[in-house]
Amino acid sequence: MTTGKKLPPGPRGIGLNRLIHRVRDHAGFFQHYHDQYGDIVYFTMMFNKMCLVYSPDIIEEVMVTKRHAFEKGPLYHRNKILVNPTTMTTVGPQHRRLRKLIQPSFRLNAIRGYAEIMIDEAVKLRDRWEDGAHINVDVPMHQLTLDIVAKAFFGRDSRVDSILLKEVLSSLGWRAALTFIPFGNFIGELPIPKNKRARQAIEDLDRVVYSVIEKARYSEEERVDLVSFLINAKDEEGIDPALTSEEVRDESYVMLIAGHETSANTLVWSFYYLSRYPEVRARLEKEVDEVLGGRLPTTEDIDHLVYAGAVMDEVLRISPPSILVGRRCIEDCELGGYHIPKGTIVQPFIRAPHRNEKYWPQATEFRPERWFEPDQPKRPTHAYIPFGAGESKCAGVAFARSEVVLTLAIITQRWRVETKSKEFPKVNTLAGFYKPTGGLPCIVHRRE
Ligand code: HEM
């Protein structure tokens, strides 16, 4: 059944050139179609029906008011490592049950425990740097967020480390990539080193997850890692059953994917913008010195590091690390007054409303001050969505805020990070994460 309306504007043809454009320059591809056709664009790309969405109102339709017309996360199913439905891949009642059960893992008492790990790991990183050292800041930030995830998710006593997690993430990527190529399933079964390593990494992490689950279920000690919170979570209304061990295992894989690149790239972009805007960096240094006075931060300081929070908000506005979200229409529907056929992949481009001058004057300028200005333009609710929107809004907002604000404060106490080049770096977004291609070469200087 169709709605009787027209398809949104957009180019015609099967779209081989579009595929090439998208692979070469993902962000530029989205921007190009926005500039050419407006707030909603429709086309086919190698037999896939695609719809790109740019305005807060239509984004709201996709993610909030008409969310029941969409399924999400088809890519996650493709890697064949996740067996059960997860928060990332479900909608409706199934999703509501999972959200209810993961909620305790992100309450204040849980965040306090994770924050202690964040502080310890950021201090270790800070102590490793030397004055005048040349670093690619991408590397320590990814390492840091993986070290934090290893301990916060699986416990300080678990054998998991960033090397294993890196191997697991690369295995997940490899399994997903195989589903796009002819004979991918067959290739995935061949006894080649890549497949062996992938299988081994998943088996190693599974062993850790199931042993944490055993400890959390049967030992007397109170454990404060994410896996233990998940296995012990109960529906307070007593309606939905608790998570099974396999569901906890899958959910922890999803959190690993969702909660590592995003925070690492927020930190990388923070150092880029702080280096490009020395007056912002000076104000951040002043706040850090005044609030902390040389001591280490605690969880309580996060709310007092107001300017550091505004730096994070502004980074997420100007260069959101999750550049888009993906949905697939499970029935014919209407968006922005246009007809969208069943099966269309619909992708809201998060960065578009963030860079719209109507909502954000001087939108391409990095100005954390804007977050304190009393006379800001009136904005639609979904003009700022770095963490998504509606029922599927990011579950890890408090985790990410603690991680980024604490790390910025701890590094800023001692170091000034200068990018080597003043040019805007080349960006890679193919996997959906907006990050500098090849990282961000920098020099670290000890503060006076
Ligand atoms: C600055 C860092 C982060 C950013 C920018 C970010 C962004 C997002 C976005 C845009 C979504 C929505 C995806 C969609 O609707 O399809 C999302 C969902 C999610 N994020 Fe985050 N995220 C961040 C950090 C984290 C962390 C640290 C965790 C876990 C510890 C996490 C866990 C999740 C989960 C579980 C979901 C799925 C929620 C649901 O579907 O109900 N995220 N995130």
User: Does 347 contact ligand 1 (Cβ within 6 A)?
Assistant: no
Q: Which domain holds residue 347?
A: 16-446
User: Does 125 contact ligand 1 (Cβ within 6 A)?
Assistant: no
Answer yes or no: is 138 within a domain: yes
Relative to the CA of 327, which ligand 1 atom is closest? 16
Relative to the CA of 316, which ligand 1 atom is closest? 5
User: Does 101 contact ligand 1 (Cβ within 6 A)?
Assistant: no
Per-residue confidence band for 157, with pLDDT thresholds at 50, 70 and 90:
confident
Burial of 121 (0-12, 13-18, 19+ CB in 10 A): buried
Read off the pLDDT of residues 330-348 as tens digits, 9 standing for 90 and up: 999 999 999 999 999 999 9
Per-residue confidence band for 4, with pLDDT thresholds at 50, 70 and 90:
low
Determine which residue's CA is closest to atom 43 belonging to ligand 1.
Answer: 394
Determine which residue's CA is closest to atom 16 belonging to ligand 1.
Answer: 325
How many domains does the chain contain in total? 1
User: Does 258 contact ligand 1 (Cβ within 6 A)?
Assistant: yes
Per-residue confidence band for 309, with pLDDT thresholds at 50, 70 and 90:
very high
Relative to the CA of 99, which ligand 1 atom is closest? 41
Per-residue confidence band for 216, with pLDDT thresholds at 50, 70 and 90:
confident
User: Does 387 contact ligand 1 (Cβ within 6 A)?
Assistant: yes
CA-CA-CA-CA dihedral for 378, 379, 381, 387, to nearest 10: -130
Answer yes or no: is 69 within a domain: yes
Answer yes or no: is 337 within a domain: yes
Sign of CA dihedral 207, 208, 211, 217: negative
Report long-range pairs for 74-81 (Cβ below 8 Å, ≥24 apart).
74/326, 74/328, 75/176, 75/326, 76/254, 76/257, 78/175, 78/176, 78/179, 79/172, 79/175, 79/176, 79/179, 80/175, 80/179, 80/188, 81/171, 81/172, 81/175, 81/202, 81/253
User: Does 399 contact ligand 1 (Cβ within 6 A)?
Assistant: yes
Answer yes or no: is 223 within a domain: yes
Kindly report the backbone phi and psi dihedral angles of residue 393, in degrees, each rounded to the nearest multiple of 5, phi listed first.
Answer: -60, 145
Residue-level pLDDT at 316: 98
Answer yes or no: is 4 within a domain: no
Residue-level pLDDT at 19: 79
> Which of 316, 394, 399 maximizes ligand 1 atoms within 8 Å of its Cβ, making it the mutation to test the pocket?
394
Answer yes or no: is 208 within a domain: yes
Query: DSSP states of 25-94 as a string?
Result: -HHHHHHHHHHHH-SEEEEEETTEEEEEE-SHHHHHIIIIITGGGEEE-HHHHHTS---S--TTT--HHH
Residue-level pLDDT at 21: 80
Helix (H, G, I), strand (E, B) or coil at 258: helix
User: Does 90 contact ligand 1 (Cβ within 6 A)?
Assistant: no
Distance 274 CA to ligand 1 centre (A): 24
Distance 411 CA to ligand 1 centre (A): 24
Distance 259 CA to ligand 1 centre (A): 7
Q: What is the CATH number of the domain that holds 398?
A: 1.10.630.10
Distance 290 CA to ligand 1 centre (A): 32
Answer yes or no: is 347 within a domain: yes
Is the pLDDT at 9 greater than 90? The verdict is: yes
d(CA 369, CA 315): 12
Cβ neighbours of residue 46 under 8 Å, at least 6 residues apart? Answer: 14, 15, 16, 19
Distance 143 CA to ligand 1 centre (A): 19
Which of 1-15, 133-147, 367-381 has the weakest average pLDDT?
Answer: 1-15
How many residues would you count in the chain?
448
User: Does 319 contact ligand 1 (Cβ within 6 A)?
Assistant: no
- The better pLDDT of the pair 81, 140 is held by 140
Read off the pLDDT of residues 39-75 as tens digits, 9 standing for 90 and up: 999 998 877 899 999 999 999 999 999 999 999 865 5
Is the pLDDT at 266 greater than 90? The verdict is: yes
Residues above pLDDT 90, as percent of the chain: 61
User: Does 118 contact ligand 1 (Cβ within 6 A)?
Assistant: no
Read off the pLDDT of residues 391-412 as tens digits, 9 standing for 90 and up: 999 999 999 999 999 999 999 9
Relative to the CA of 312, which ligand 1 atom is closest? 1
Answer yes or no: is 255 within a domain: yes
What average pLDDT does the segment 170-196 reach? 80
Per-residue confidence band for 428, with pLDDT thresholds at 50, 70 and 90:
confident
Distance 439 CA to ligand 1 centre (A): 22
Determine which residue's CA is closest to atom 6 belonging to ligand 1.
Answer: 387
Query: DSSP states of 275-301 as a string?
Result: HH-HHHHHHHHHHHHHHHTTSPP-GGG
Residue-level pLDDT at 28: 83
Residue-level pLDDT at 311: 98
